[in-house]
Structures are given as C-alpha cells and as structure tokens.
Amino acid sequence: MGEQNNQDTRRRIAFVGSECYPFVKTGGLGDVMYALPRALIEQDCDVRVFLPKYACIPQKYKEKMVYRGSFMMNLCQGGREFFVGIMELVMDGVIYDFIENEEFFSWGNPYTDLFADIPKYSYFSKASLAAMNFMEWTPDIVHCHDWQAALVPIYLKTHFAPTPVGQARSVLTIHNLRFQGICGIPHMKYWTDIPGYVFDYPYMKQGEDDANMMKGGLAFADCITTVSQTYAGEIQTGFYGERLDDHLRYHSGKLVGIVNGIDVEQWNSETDALLAATYSEADVIEKKKANKLALQEKLGLVQDENKLVLGLISRLTNQKGLDLVNAILNDIVDDNTQVVVLGTGDPNYENSFRYYESVHKGKVCAYISYNEALAHQIYAGSDALLVPSLFEPCGLTQLIAMRYGTIPIVRETGGLKDTVQPYNENTNEGNGFTFIDYDPSVLFDCINRAKSVYFGERERWDEMVRRDMAVDVSWKKSASEYLDLYKKLKG
Ligand code: ADP
C-alpha cells in the first residue's frame, strides 16, 4: 500500500451512501452520488462508491457485477457474525462496490422503517470500511452521505482506528438534516457495538434515552459539509436546525457549504433521447413548443402551445411547500395556465392533487408516481417549475429546470436562494421568480409576476429562458472545492 501511495499522487476517495442513480434513487442524494464521483474522476481522483446491493437494483446492472470476495464480520454486541459479499461494477471510470447481504438488503425498497433501517445501515457502514481493508484499498478520504452513513466517522475512530482504513480522514455531507437515524440507546448499542462513551451527550445521545446517528457522525467527522452555503447557515438556527442547531453551532468550525451541481450529460436537452424534440439555446423557443404539445397530449391536457405550463416535480412531503401550492391551486389555474405535478409521497398531498385534477380536467395533471422519463419531458415541456420549499438544502430540480430553459419559481431558502437570481424588471436581469415569506398569498403574487412577464413581455421571458440555459450548473466548480477540501484534510 505504502509503495502504491508514493508512486501515485492521485487522491483516493471512498463514497459511502444509501442511494445512487442509476441503480437506486429516491431523491437528490441519488443524483449527487452519481454525478460528484464522475466529476472528481475528471479532476484525476480515484473514486470508489460503496452501496448496498438492494434487491430493487435493475437486473441489467446486477448481471454486470463481478464477485470481488467475501468474508464474515462481527457486528453486534456479543459478536454476532454476518456475511459480507463484495460485488463490483465499473462504469465510466467509477468503481462501484456493492455490499451484499441477503438478510439486510433483500427488501424491495432501500428504506423500510427506522427500526429495521438502523441495523441495516449500521451493518452497511461497518461492512463498507471492512471491505476497503479486505480489498487492501486505503482511501485518503471517506466521504459519507447523510445519516445512513453517519456511523462511518465513528467506526473509523473506534473499531477501525488501528487498521489501514483508520488512516483515512472523514467528510460527512448533510443532504437533508430532517432525517437523522434516531432510536433508543439499547437498540443502537446492541447493533453497533460502539464504545459506551459515544452514547454520551457530546456524541450520539439525544434527550433522555435516544441515540442519534447523525449527531454522533457530526461530532466524529473531520469535516462536515452541506449542500449550499445558505443551508449551512440556516441549520445553525432553531427553525431549520432540526434540534441539532446548537450541536452544529458547536461544530461550526468544521462546517462548510458547497453547492450541488448536476450531471450535464445526464441532463442535456441537446441529446436527451426522451424528449419529443431536442434543442439548444439557439432553438429553445421553437422546440420547447413541440415538447409542450407532446407533454400536453401525453397527460391529457388541452393542447395549446400558448398556454403557460407550470411543472412541479417533487417528493410529496411538507418540506416541499405543497401546502402553499394546495392553498392557491384553484386560483393559479385559468384558461391560459396549466399545472403538471409529478410526485409520490404523503397520501394527503397525493389525494389533494388528484382532486384538483378531477375538478380542472384538461388543465391540471396529477401524475402520482415516480417516473424518470416523464420527469425529463416535464422539464422540457413546461415553461416554469415551481419549487416553493419550506426548506431546501440545495434542490436540484431548479438547476435541471434552468438547464432545460424552464424558469424556476422558488422560495428563497437554502440552495434555492444560492442558485436562482431573482428577476429584476428594471435591469432585465435574473434567472427566475422568487419569494421569501412562507405564505400562500406571497407565492400567488410571485406566480402572478411570472404570468405578467410570460403573457405581457414575452421577449423578456424568452431572454430569461436563454440566459438560464447558459448558466453553468455543472459540477465542475463544486467538485474542485471538494478536492481542495480533501487536500486540506489530508495533504
Ligand atoms: P430531494 O432530494 O429533496 O428529493 P432534489 O431537488 O435535491 O430533492 O432532488 C430531486 C431529484 O429527484 C431530481 O432529480 C428530480 O427530478 C427527481 N424526482 C423527484 N420526484 C420525482 C418523480 N416523482 N419522478 C421522477 N423523478 C423525480
């Protein structure tokens, strides 16, 4: 290993996380786990991505995996042993190591319920580090993502400290602080077998009886990042801090915000085979009409290229500002305005959008499902995309929208604030329409401002469309910020 290090100055980065496009994705974490490793490879890093080998991974990928080895690993108190298989797949220079274990990963979906997920991700975190040692591949940095991998920094400084991988530095990225991996201390203690002092207040302990994986991971990580600068500040306040604001303020010296990008090949209107018509900045205005007509036809909406189509692509949860949308949907929709919703989640939101579809037939479509292809078609066929989130660590949908020449309408929070410059009608600058107060009437005003430019000053709207397509939303700049950080942590 030492010899290899001398000859090779490339940084070795291990990614550990619970989802990654195209194998399994439920939200933005899956996109980042796909795109950031690819961007780091461009910057001459050596990257391996560690993922659970879930049953739901499409067969075509499973067939391409190659067996790298297997071993038994202690996990729980009392030394229960578990099988760890390593199945490997190489795609575009990135090595994906899937951790195989039937007992933990044979369910259809990645996430089940927290009681079952705590053992599952304890196993996964420990097995990923054990697999690095097994393969004799020692990373410089282990980059962990969200609560599912938050035990990794703890394991690195406890069980694995005297082993080769113990030399690595850890980075823990918060993609969404709302999810933390909390359960009773005895359950966590049993499954993780982590030393007793880690269950004290400075680390995992929360309230009287609970252990919190995220809290412990934040304390043990060498560096904490989150996915925008604004969110990095927000999570240190009571409103956004999800009960960890004081803990984060205490650790703020090692907390930085680095905004997400998107993979500009995966999201490329010039080559996107899922679109009715591909387009570039030069012909977006014409071709968007063709995409709009195709979308309207597919979704049973009145076909008319002159109508304003507002898209919404989202997990249906209260994080996403859907209460605001629900409160004003009847007023947004009119003879010239249509709304398309793609999402799944909370049944209350699913049902309310279905209801609006039924009362506004031909003007509203509620497509209650997860559908990657339709998402592409909505990004291309809509004129504007609604992202009125209550909180938004970064948000990717506004970035994808801009890349597809679709104007974002966003609340100024987290990454939405950092990535969408408000339209200024005096200077004719900006990328989208924004609002601040979490209030339905304020969103309504904001949408009306967008409508008045769309219907009254189309030339200015079209200029904004082209301006948005020209914005650099790629990973390039942010990936080099991560690389600088890795270098600072391990010179
Ligand atoms: P979050 O991670 O909070 O869900 P982001 O904006 O960071 O939100 O990322 C959402 C990602 O998931 C985007 O790539 C978006 O296109 C995709 N997405 C969300 N809901 C759906 C859906 N129902 N069908 C297809 N893609 C979806």
pLDDT at 114: 87
pLDDT digit string, tens, across residues 375-434? 999 999 999 999 999 999 999 999 999 999 999 999 999 999 999 999 999 999 999 999
Q: Are the CB atoms for 214 and 150 separated by under 8 Å?
A: yes
Residue 10 makes CB contacts below 8 A (sequence gap 6+) with 44, 45, 46
Distance of CA 472 from the midpoint of ligand 1 (Å): 20
What is the phi/psi pair of residue 206, to 5°?
-140, 135
276 within domain boundaries: no
456 and 352 inside one domain: yes
Distance of CA 344 from the midpoint of ligand 1 (Å): 10
150 and 71 inside one domain: yes
Could you give the percent of the chain with pLDDT greater than 70? Answer: 98
Distance of CA 27 from the midpoint of ligand 1 (Å): 4
pLDDT digit string, tens, across residues 421-477? 999 999 999 999 999 999 999 999 999 999 999 999 999 999 999 999 999 999 999
Give the mean model confidence (pLDDT) for residues 317-335: 97
**Domain span at residue 246?**
2-261+476-489
Could you give the percent of the chain with pLDDT greater than 90? Answer: 95
Mean pLDDT lowest for which of 39-48, 101-110, 152-161, 482-491?
101-110
196 and 111 inside one domain: yes
Asked if residue 2 has pLDDT above 80, the reply is no
pLDDT digit string, tens, across residues 241-299? 999 999 999 999 999 999 999 999 999 999 999 999 999 999 999 999 999 999 999 99
90 and 126 inside one domain: yes
Mean pLDDT lowest for which of 107-121, 131-145, 168-182?
107-121
Asked if residue 191 has pLDDT above 60, the reply is yes
pLDDT at 227: 98
pLDDT at 237: 98
111 and 223 inside one domain: yes
109 within domain boundaries: yes
Give the mean model confidence (pLDDT) for residues 88-111: 93
150 and 95 inside one domain: yes
Give the mean model confidence (pLDDT) for residues 178-195: 97
Give the mean model confidence (pLDDT) for residues 109-115: 88
The count of domains in the chain is 2
The minimum-distance atom of ligand 1 relative to the CA of 175 is 2
Model confidence, pTM: 0.95
Q: Is 314 in the pocket of ligand 1 (CB under 6 A)?
A: yes
pLDDT band of residue 311 (cuts 50, 70, 90) is very high
314 and 376 inside one domain: yes
The minimum-distance atom of ligand 1 relative to the CA of 396 is 6
pLDDT digit string, tens, across residues 119-161? 999 999 999 999 999 999 999 999 999 999 999 999 999 999 9
The minimum-distance atom of ligand 1 relative to the CA of 260 is 7
Asked if residue 231 has pLDDT above 90, the reply is yes
The minimum-distance atom of ligand 1 relative to the CA of 375 is 25
Q: What is the CATH number of the domain that holds 212?
A: 3.40.50.2000
269 within domain boundaries: no
180 and 218 inside one domain: yes
161 and 185 inside one domain: yes
Average of per-residue pLDDT values in the chain: 96
Q: Is 388 in the pocket of ligand 1 (CB under 6 A)?
A: no
160 and 142 inside one domain: yes
Q: Is 370 in the pocket of ligand 1 (CB under 6 A)?
A: yes
270 within domain boundaries: no
297 and 240 inside one domain: no
Distance of CA 346 from the midpoint of ligand 1 (Å): 15
239 and 361 inside one domain: no
278 within domain boundaries: no
Asked if residue 6 has pLDDT above 60, the reply is no
37 within domain boundaries: yes
pLDDT band of residue 8 (cuts 50, 70, 90) is low
Asked if residue 3 has pLDDT above 50, the reply is no
Q: Widest CA span of the chain, in angstroms? A: 71
pLDDT at 7: 46
187 within domain boundaries: yes
76 within domain boundaries: yes
Q: Is 249 in the pocket of ligand 1 (CB under 6 A)?
A: no
pLDDT at 112: 87
Give the mean model confidence (pLDDT) for residues 69-90: 96
